[in-house]
A and B are shown apart, each in its own frame.
Chain A
Amino acid sequence: MKTRAVQIPSGVLSPRGEPLGRPLWLGALFVLGAALLLAATAAPSFGRESPTPQNPPGSMILDAKCVIGFDNIKPGAKGTLTSLPTGLEFTAGKKKADITTPSIQDIFTGRESRQDVGGVSGTLVETAIPYGGGRFFSLFSHKVDVLTVEYADSTGGFHGAIFVLSAGKAEALKNQLIAQGAKVSTHVNVPEPGEGKP
């Protein structure tokens, strides 16, 4: 059996004489594995949308996010938004905040897109993938509802609370609050960011 010697340029050899390609491949494999893991976790949420916006009175929305709006709750906290006969209640861990129906001045609903792979860890992995490959994951997003409630505190101070809910839940919640007697003005619908572009 004839064997042919392959000449490796000295530039790609380590001081021990081993090819340097292996650590690079290992690194690439690690990043690819991390990317696949992220894609697998994100996959079930692709195109997630509830077909019927129905919230029975007293219902709980478990995966709600309070973007901002309460003094005692950290902005961006995730928790449970409960529709009560007296108004809304948001619970994040042991902390609770509520908005009574008579204090509500206006309610707005909207729909936005959220990236499936996001947050600090997601962004780090995206940037770690070589040749800008991480941008691929930015293509996957899902729709969410945004519920904005304007209300006044006991001294008349104006407040606003923003909640992000899974798609199709905000409108039903708004209708419930209106049925309880919450004030709502007529609104001009602003197009969703990034939509309606040629």
Chain B
Amino acid sequence: MTLHRGEHGVLRRLDLPEDVAYRLMLLGFVPGADVEFSGSAPGGDPRVFRVEGTEVALRRETAEQMIIDGN
């Protein structure tokens, strides 16, 4: 599902290549983590997520492969 600005969700899984998923997990994007959508660059790409207190920017196609459930 797509989050709107300021909305929280729970990360279910990462449908991404292993090395990308690895890096994201080290940054806190693990299944079960609380993820907040902070906003994006003008145009919607890249998208910025707040996880565990820090902002991380991801390109749209990577962000779309993160499956997040709403609360």
Pairing of A with B:
no
